[in-house]
Amino acid sequence: MSSGNGTKRIGIFVCHCGLNIAGVVDMEKVVTEIRKYPGVVYAADYQYMCSDPGQNLMREAISEHRLDAIVNANCSPSLHEKTFRNVAASEGLNPYNLEIANIREHCSWPHANDPEMATRKAIAIIKATIDRLKLNAALEPAVIPLKKRALVIGGGIAGMQSALTIANTGYEVVLVESSPWLGGHVSQLSSTFPTLDHPACLIEPMMAEVASHPRITLYAYAEIEEVSGYVGNFVVRIRKKASFVDTAKCDNCGLCFDPCPVSVPSEFERGLATRKAIHIPFAQAVPQRPVIDNESCIHLIRVKSQGKGDSRLQTPDSRLLDGSECRACKEACPAGAIDYSQQDRLVEEEVGAVIVATGHDLISRDVLGEYLSDPDIIDGLQFERLLCPTGPTRGAVKRPSDGKIAKEVVWISCAGSRDTERGVPYCSRVCCLYVAKQTLLYKRAVPDGQAYVFYMDIRSDVMGTEEFVQGMVEKSRTMYLRGQASKIFRDGEKIKVWATDTLTGKDIEIAADMVVLALAMVPSTTARVLARKLNIICDQHGFMTEAHLKLRPVDTLTSGIYLAGTAQWPKDIPDTLASASGAASRILSLFSRAVLLHEPAIAFVNERVCVGCEQCVSVCAYKATTLDPDKKVARVNEAVCEGCGACVVACPSKAMKHKNWTPRQFFDMVDVFAQEYVGEG
């Protein structure tokens, strides 16, 4: 970096912008004044400097007067800084030797009624800009190598869509899924609104393609341990959890399941069925391989507790199971694939960009006080499992408590959503629609059954869904009652629901066989921890936050990291896939470049002055500053620094500087502005 030396040959180009500037500011006076200013070798004004003749005027003046620095006095830099810097570059100038003096938006327009003062102000603004320009250094963008390989975190429908889009374009993808199998929540659904097609048709081809894709490395049953590096150059440590099944040997014959003596609630069936300690969640699960859950396998618990016993080993009659002797699955396995000694393994992958697609969970029912933990009060996902032909009841809508067909079912919408007191303030967006779908499928399964829906408002804003909801109401003869349930309680065989219909003002009591809660969508429990590792931001609910709601909806503020699906906010499947495709295309556009170029007006350290106090390290929101362990001085990672300047102010020894935004430059501008007083005594 060459430092400014105050001997630049400076040219000034003042734009009239028709009458927008010239109608208020006295152009002649400005040019006359500025011509006299130290350092200025040329000054001109023109009607429209951004026009072709205006740009040519600049080009000619640059070569004729051998200008090496330029101030353009015109509109906001957000409009034409780039235009004029390109003009300067075309004449061989470094673009950072051109600065804009904004005398339109900041001067002629807001002071149109005071031409005298506006002219004075315009002159001051141009002079201050000249003085800052004198100390500008010629900068070149930093060149950053780019690893064209992507990491996708989350193997639900969003993560799979992103991974496949990137992999099918020709780049390698590392896909990390925390559960042992792909598919996420979509694999639990019975059908999807508004088309009522089976989710398996959506995701099973995706799962198969992901698992067999030559450019996708799949780590299922794995977690992100640590992320370091920056855009183009991330290093990710991944913890591959022990599955205690040697995947190379296992041929998924299924002989190990029956002998296992352990029976625990199945997560996939949301507690409506049980599973063994060694299990796969459903027949089409991908990858096709069972996993031994070390939280329930009595052999593994026994080994872990070193024979001391554990409450999980206690039988109802207080005997302690001697798990270490249980080798039921191992004995049953003809392939010899069971390996109780397997350990977690750490692997390291290098990637250039990351997509976070960690999805959502449902809000804990505990926050909703009145909804008892009764087996016949279930959530929306549990009802999906009941409706599913491959679910625990083979599609029959049976009550979990006694297995009787539920003849009267009450749905509670907004259970936790739009509830600032106990739940979350936002709308979960999909509940109104899936409740309508569930009532229809319920009527198909139980033709003589009656469905009731308590709702606050029906929100069906996605294309085709308003017609869908209206159609469902008519077809299923569901009773839609506007109001929230005030009390839900067990009364013998039935569950009583008390509520007020707010449209008629009447109190209602329904004796239901089953209650379905449309629970609010909340971020997955690990979202915050992961966000910290990635240095990205979560909102107050734990949803990951985009860089700009409208302009950069799938980017995060950390460059190279993007968001897909419901990790960001509640979305339906089409919106999830749109954001997943969007995030993938952001990465593809990143990968279309040979190298990355980064804005050079960033922080730098004067190593001879730095005392290594690390103030700059703690103040940096991007972790761009670090302490060099050998030299004990601060280092700025030029690929990560966003050029905010916070560290410059924090630095007590003033070793930290911001290129082209140095204290000297600020002082000089301040001097010009305050001098107006001094000048007048």
Partner 1 sequence: MADLDGEFEPVLVGFFCNWCTATAADLAGTTRLQYPPNIRPIRTMCSSSVDPVYILKALLRGADGVFIGGCVPGDCHYVSGNFKERRRIAAFKTILDTLGLEHERIWLRWISAAEGQKFAATMREFTAKMKELGPSPFKKGWSI
Chain contacts with partner 1 (rule: CB under 8 A): 76-78, 102, 104-114, 116-118, 120-121, 124-125, 128, 537, 557, 601, 619, 621-622, 642-646, 648-650, 658, 661, 663, 666-667, 669-671, 673-678, 680
Q: How far is the CB of 241 from partner 1 (least distance, A)?
A: 33
Nearer to partner 1, 289 or 657 (CB): 657
Nearer to partner 1, 404 or 664 (CB): 664
Nearer to partner 1, 535 or 585 (CB): 535
Q: How far is the CB of 89 from partner 1 (least distance, A)?
A: 21
Q: How far is the CB of 587 from partner 1 (least distance, A)?
A: 22
Nearer to partner 1, 458 or 530 (CB): 530
Nearer to partner 1, 102 or 190 (CB): 102
DSSP, residue by residue, 247-276: TTT-----TTTTT----EE-TTTTTSSEE-
Nearer to partner 1, 511 or 674 (CB): 674
Q: How far is the CB of 79 from partner 1 (least distance, A)?
A: 9
**Rounded to the nearest 10 degrees, what angle do helices 663-680 and 115-134 cross at?**
140
Nearer to partner 1, 17 or 329 (CB): 17
- Would you give the distance in Å from CA 443 to the centre of its chain? 38
**Rounded to the nearest 10 degrees, what angle do helices 157-169 and 573-591 cross at?**
30
Nearer to partner 1, 278 or 669 (CB): 669
- DSSP-derived letter for residue 366 is G
Nearer to partner 1, 30 or 485 (CB): 30
Gap between the Cα atoms of 403 and 386, Å rounded: 11
Q: How far is the CB of 111 from partner 1 (least distance, A)?
A: 4
Residue linked to tokens 């912008």: 17
CA–CA distances in Å: residue 277 to residues 260, 266, 287, 392: 7, 10, 18, 18
452 within 8 A of 477, measured Cβ to Cβ: no
CA angle at 613 for the pair 612 and 618, rounded to the nearest 5°: 115
302 within 8 A of 312, measured Cβ to Cβ: no
Q: How far is the CB of 601 from partner 1 (least distance, A)?
A: 8
Q: How far is the CB of 595 from partner 1 (least distance, A)?
A: 24
Q: How far is the CB of 125 from partner 1 (least distance, A)?
A: 7
Q: How far is the CB of 102 from partner 1 (least distance, A)?
A: 7
The rounded radius of gyration (Å) of the Cα atoms in the chain is 33
Half-sphere exposure of 189 (CA within 13 A, CB side): 25
Gap between the Cα atoms of 15 and 12, Å rounded: 10
Residue linked to tokens 């640590």: 226
Q: Phi then psi for 192, rounded to 5 degrees?
A: -120, 145
Nearer to partner 1, 317 or 680 (CB): 680
CA–CA distances in Å: residue 57 to residues 13, 23, 63, 64, 315: 9, 22, 10, 10, 92
Q: How far is the CB of 656 from partner 1 (least distance, A)?
A: 11
Nearer to partner 1, 80 or 289 (CB): 80
Nearer to partner 1, 21 or 61 (CB): 21
- Cβ-based neighbours of 141, under 8 Å, separated by 6 or more: 597, 598, 599, 600
In the beta sheet, which residues pair with residue 239?
Answer: 223, 346
499 within 8 A of 484, measured Cβ to Cβ: yes
- Would you give the distance in Å from CA 260 to the centre of its chain? 40
Exposed (0-12), middle (13-18) or buried (19+): which is 368, by Cβ within 10 Å? buried
Q: How far is the CB of 425 from partner 1 (least distance, A)?
A: 15
Gap between the Cα atoms of 569 and 319, Å rounded: 48
Query: Which of 381, 344, 357, 395 shows the shortest CA–CA distance to 523?
Result: 357
- DSSP-derived letter for residue 245 is B
Nearer to partner 1, 118 or 516 (CB): 118
Q: How far is the CB of 27 from partner 1 (least distance, A)?
A: 17
Q: How far is the CB of 647 from partner 1 (least distance, A)?
A: 9
Q: How far is the CB of 150 from partner 1 (least distance, A)?
A: 24
Nearer to partner 1, 345 or 552 (CB): 552
Exposed (0-12), middle (13-18) or buried (19+): which is 589, by Cβ within 10 Å? exposed
In the beta sheet, which residues pair with residue 538?
Answer: 544
